[in-house]
């Protein structure tokens, strides 16, 4: 019953958020809409790590691998297909296949959690150097030149499905990206509430016990890893659509660290936490970038230290704990007031 009530609340909040997304272009100027679009795309990326780490217990330092692969897959497919619909499919499919292959060798190979993080980080660095070395006309897929360190400019952005000539405006692109964030969030909530979700949480808590109950931890961890890769790849497509440009920096180590910071600050073991952490930190970085007095990386590092020391659970779990701690007192006060009235 509690889970059902929580899901109802989540759905109500999602409907309200969707209404806000649709109404935003009527009240916010174009510059702010563009900022919100990239924030929402990165929040989808944060959800990918929030899911596999917070619920699957898999700490991946290389979510940028799937993010970058999704971005490049979208760019190459959009240029060759001339349509964004098939490009979005490729942006999800390529990272899923890569996650399946990489995850199979790591998870079924018995790689421990620490080394799994190191391997995923190394893969991101390899992809960064690999794509960075693709300058020249020789490195192209179909009509799409990879561009090396210069990146791929003038990438076709989202169009109306089935009508490549109808290119979405920035306001429409924001609506698509904002609603995509909500759909991914609700989809993950439903998945976690399902039998699959309960199994991966059980494996996270005690892998040996789950295996004794008849579940194969390797199989479920691999599926979790693949789902995280699919979401990160989708986020890459959303990101490329925002700027119509992609470069090897999308695989950079700095972004990998930022994703982990978003999840830690927002709260691991929740879905809304990574979204809050991402939106808050992205807003702060943007605000700090508008002045020259403070270094953004210094501020991010200081905030991370403060949260690790003072708010180790993150924002979302801490707020929930505070609310729950107040509820018994509120119920007790209400009961005492009712007793006095009856007396």
| pLDDT reported for residue 294 | 66
Backbone angles phi, psi at 120, to 5 degrees: -65, -35
Torsion angle (degrees, nearest 10) of CA 239, 243, 244, 245: -90
The whole-model pTM stands at 0.92
Q: Name, in order, each residue with C-beta under 8 angstroms of 39's C-beta and a sequence gap of 6 or more.
A: 278, 279, 282, 283
Distance CA 121, CA 126 (A): 9
Domain ranges of the chain: 2-312
| pLDDT reported for residue 192 | 94
Spatial CA neighbour of 240 closest among 85, 67, 46: 67
Q: Name, in order, each residue with C-beta under 8 angstroms of 123's C-beta and a sequence gap of 6 or more.
A: 62, 65, 102
CA distances from 281 to 30, 255, 292 (A): 21, 12, 18
Answer yes or no: are the C-beta atoms of 3 and 182 closer than 8 Å: no
Distance CA 106, CA 119 (A): 8
Residues 304-324 as b or e (16 or more Cβ within 10 Å = b)? beebeeeeebbbbbbbeeeee
Strands 163-167 and 159-160: antiparallel
| Average pLDDT, consecutive stretches of 10 residues, N- to C-terminus, the chain (343 residues) | 69 90 94 95 97 94 94 96 94 97 93 88 94 89 92 93 90 96 95 95 94 94 97 97 94 90 92 94 80 68 82 87 73 49 41
Place of tokens 């993080």: 117
Separation of CA 74 from chain center: 17
């Amino acid at each position: 019953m509690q889970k059902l009530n929580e899901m109802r609340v989540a759905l109500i909040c999602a409907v309200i958020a969707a209404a806000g997304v649709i109404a935003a272009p009527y009240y916010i100027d174009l510059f702010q809409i563009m900022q919100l679009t990239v924030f929402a795309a990165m929040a989808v990326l944060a959800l990918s790590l929030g899911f596999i780490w917070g619920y699957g217990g898999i700490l991946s330092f290389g979510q940028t691998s799937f993010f970058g692969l999704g971005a490049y897959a979208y760019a190459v497919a959009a240029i060759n297909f001339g349509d964004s619909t098939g490009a979005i499919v490729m942006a999800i499919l390529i990272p899923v296949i890569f996650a399946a292959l990489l995850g199979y060798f790591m998870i079924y190979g018995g790689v421990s959690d620490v080394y799994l993080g190191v391997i995923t980080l190394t893969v991101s660095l390899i992809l960064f150097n690999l794509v960075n070395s693709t300058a020249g006309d020789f490195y192209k897929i179909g009509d799409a030149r990879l561009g090396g360190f210069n990146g791929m400019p003038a990438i076709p952005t989202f169009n109306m499905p089935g009508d490549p000539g109808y290119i979405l405006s920035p306001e429409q692109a924001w609506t698509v990206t904002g609603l995509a964030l909500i759909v991914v969030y609700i989809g993950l909530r439903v998945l976690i509430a399902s039998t699959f979700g309960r199994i991966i949480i059980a494996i996270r808590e005690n892998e040996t016990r789950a295996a004794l109950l008849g579940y194969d931890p390797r199989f479920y961890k691999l599926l979790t890893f693949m789902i995280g890769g699919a979401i990160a790849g989708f986020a890459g497509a959303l990101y490329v659509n925002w700027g119509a440009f992609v470069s090897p920096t999308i695989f950079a180590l700095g972004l990998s660290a930022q994703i982990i910071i978003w999840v830690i600050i927002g709260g691991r073991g929740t879905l809304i936490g990574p979204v809050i952490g991402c939106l808050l930190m992205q807003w702060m970085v943007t605000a700090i970038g508008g002045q020259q007095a403070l270094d953004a990386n210094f501020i991010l590092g200081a905030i991370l230290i403060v949260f690790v020391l003072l708010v180790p659970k993150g924002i979302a779990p801490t707020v929930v704990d505070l609310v729950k701690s107040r509820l018994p007192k509120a119920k007790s006060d209400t009961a005492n007031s009712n007793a006095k009235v009856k007396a």
